[in-house]
Every structure is written in structure tokens, then in C-alpha cells.
Amino acid sequence: MVEKRDDLELLTHYAATRDPGAREEIILRFVPLVHFVLGRLGISQSVSTDYEDAASQGLIGLIEAVDRFDPKFGTQFSTYATVRIRGKVLDHLRSMDWLSRGARQRYHILQDAVTKLWSSLGRAPTDEELAVHIKVDINQLHRTMIEGSRMIVSLDLLTQSADEDESLHEVLADQGQPTPAEVYEEDELHTSLLHALKSLSEREQLILSLYYYEELTFKEIGMVLDISESRVCQLHGRAIMNLRAYLKQISQEKYA
């Protein structure tokens, strides 16, 4: 979302005058940004029961962005507001424990199954193989994949360290000028990730590309591929689990 000329003028006017009328107009103009951010997080009215609560938190983030934005820094308001909206929504989801303990357990059982089958088969397991391995029917398997996709996983969290939630930014800490060892390690990680992406099916690769590179929402991806939003969510979840399993296998082979 790029600001129009009159958007920039209005933002500048509000920053200088704190005019309540200008504040309300800015908020109304940028409300669609809240829904865009929710869509990017995989939160939609069709697959999420708590959409309205998340939207309310996103709106609070937007209002905070309006009140704190300073045009003199030269940053686009939409960029600044997106960060604040996203942060507010994620804080809300974490505090509410978005997924139940049972859902998290099912996801981790499934991720463990994907990893084990990758190791034994040397390829991504099929849905049928996964269902047999964890002793569930296909419908339950697909529901678990959707739940996994809703865990707000990013490609930044795909390292297979002792802590699954450890970020690449924590593993490859930036302390100024990188050392040769750090450069080599990061290059090696990028190479492994590239191989992992190529190991996915063409549809899974396309969904990840549309979501992470083209920045489409799950709903928009569904329209492009002519499939339901929940199906996109399911395929995204499976792709992430396959990437995790592949990278873990590479890591184990490297240090064996």
C-alpha cells in the first residue's frame, strides 16, 4: 500500500497540528492495511474464529502508528504502520495461546513423523504415508497441517538447532563486520535452504513463492490456484514441515 500525495499531506498536517479530524481520516483511510496484515498472517474470517479480536488489536496498532508517526524521518507510513499492526496482533495471539495444547501436540507429533519418514524414505512422505504412520485419517491429518500453518512460521525459523524456535538472527548474530567463518556458515545455510526448497513439489514451491516473495495472502493464493483458502493453508503447513525435516536431515548428515 503506497501513500498518495494527499495521504502524505494529511499525515504531515496531523503531525504538525494534532487535528482530531485529520487523525480520524488517516485511520479510516488505512483500515484496509489492518486486513492486509491479518491476511499475511494467515488470519481470515473463513479459517479463523477469532478474526474480529485480531482485527481489533490490529486497529489499535494502526492508531498507535498514526499517533507516533513522524514524516520527517522519510519512512513510508504504510511500512511503519504494518510493523506496529503486525506486532500488536502477534502479541495478542501469543497472550491468548492461539493454538490449544492438544493442537500443538498434534503438530509436533506430525512434524516428528515427517522428519522420520524423510530419513527412512529419502523424500517427502505422502499424505497417506503420514496418516498411516501417526494412525489418523486423512481429514484429521489435513486439519493438523492447517493448525501447523497457523503457528505463524516464517522462513527465518527453519534452522534445526536445539531450540526449534531459535531465529537465524540469533544463530548468526550481527556483531558488526562478519568473520570469514560466519560468512561461510551463512552461505552454507542458504545453499541448504535452496536444496530444501527444490525438494518440495512444484505446487508447494509456488505457494511459498507467492506467500513469501510476492507477499500474497492465503486467500489471494487460493484465487490464483483456484483452490480454497483452507487448502492453501494446509499446503503451506505441509511445505514448512517438509523444509524442517529436510534441513534436519542435512544437519544430521553433516555432523554424523
Residues 80 and 204 in one domain: no
The pLDDT assigned to 198 comes to 86
Residues 27 and 106 in one domain: no
Q: Kindly report the pTM of this predicted structure.
A: 0.65
Residues 106 and 90 in one domain: no
Residues 92 and 181 in one domain: no
CA-based Rg of the chain, rounded to a whole angstrom? 21
The pLDDT assigned to 156 comes to 42
Q: How far apart are CA 48 and CA 103, in angstroms?
A: 14
Residues 118 and 182 in one domain: yes
Find the CATH number of the domain harbouring 43. Answer: 1.10.1740.10
Condensed to tens digits (0 to 9), the pLDDT of residues 137-187 reads: 999 999 888 877 766 544 444 443 434 444 444 444 444 555 555 555 566
C-alpha cell belonging to residue 92: 495478542
Residue 95's pLDDT band (cuts 50, 70, 90): confident
Condensed to tens digits (0 to 9), the pLDDT of residues 26-46 reads: 999 999 999 999 988 878 776
Find the CATH number of the domain harbouring 213. Answer: 1.20.140
* Mean pLDDT (whole number) for 74-96: 88
Condensed to tens digits (0 to 9), the pLDDT of residues 200-219 reads: 889 999 999 998 888 888 88
Residue 225: CB atoms within 10 A of its CB come to: 15
The pLDDT assigned to 173 comes to 46
Residues 74 and 122 in one domain: no
More confident residue, 149 or 123: 123
User: Domain tally for the chain?
Assistant: 2
Residues 105 and 90 in one domain: no
Residue 98's pLDDT band (cuts 50, 70, 90): low
C-alpha cell belonging to residue 237: 503447513
Kindly tell me if the per-residue pLDDT of 246 is higher than 90.
no
Domain final position from 81, 96, 111 = 96
Average model confidence (pLDDT) across the chain: 81
The pLDDT assigned to 84 comes to 95
The pLDDT assigned to 33 comes to 95
Cα angle 204, 169, 57; round to 5: 75
More confident residue, 43 or 76: 76
Lowest mean pLDDT among 53-62, 118-127, 157-166: 157-166
Give Cα separations from 97 to 43, 104, 131, 137, 165 (angstroms): 15, 10, 27, 26, 16
Residues 108 and 137 in one domain: yes
Domain final position from 64, 96, 128 = 96
Residues 73 and 28 in one domain: yes
**Grid-cell match 500453518, residue found:** 149
Residues 225 and 106 in one domain: yes
Q: How far apart are CA 150 and CA 235, in angstroms?
A: 12
Closest C-alpha to 63, from 40, 34, 91: 34
Q: Following DSSP, what letter does each residue of the chain receive, concatenated?
A: ----HHHHHHHHHHHHH--HHHHHHHHHHHHHHHHHHHHHTT--TTT-TTHHHHHHHHHHHHHHHHHH--GGG---HHHHHHHHHHHHHHHHHHHHTSS-HHHHHHHHHHHHHHHHHHHHHSSPPPHHHHHHHHT--HHHHHHHHHHHHTTT--GGG---SSSTT--HHHHT---SSPPHHHHHHHHHHHHHHHHHHHTS-HHHHHHHIIIIIS---HHHHHHHHTS-HHHHHHHHHHHHHHHHHHHHHHHHHHH-
* Mean pLDDT (whole number) for 218-246: 90
Which residues span the domain enclosing 207?
A: 101-255
Residues 215 and 248 in one domain: yes
Residues 229 and 130 in one domain: yes
Residue 109's pLDDT band (cuts 50, 70, 90): very high
Domain final position from 96, 114, 137 = 96
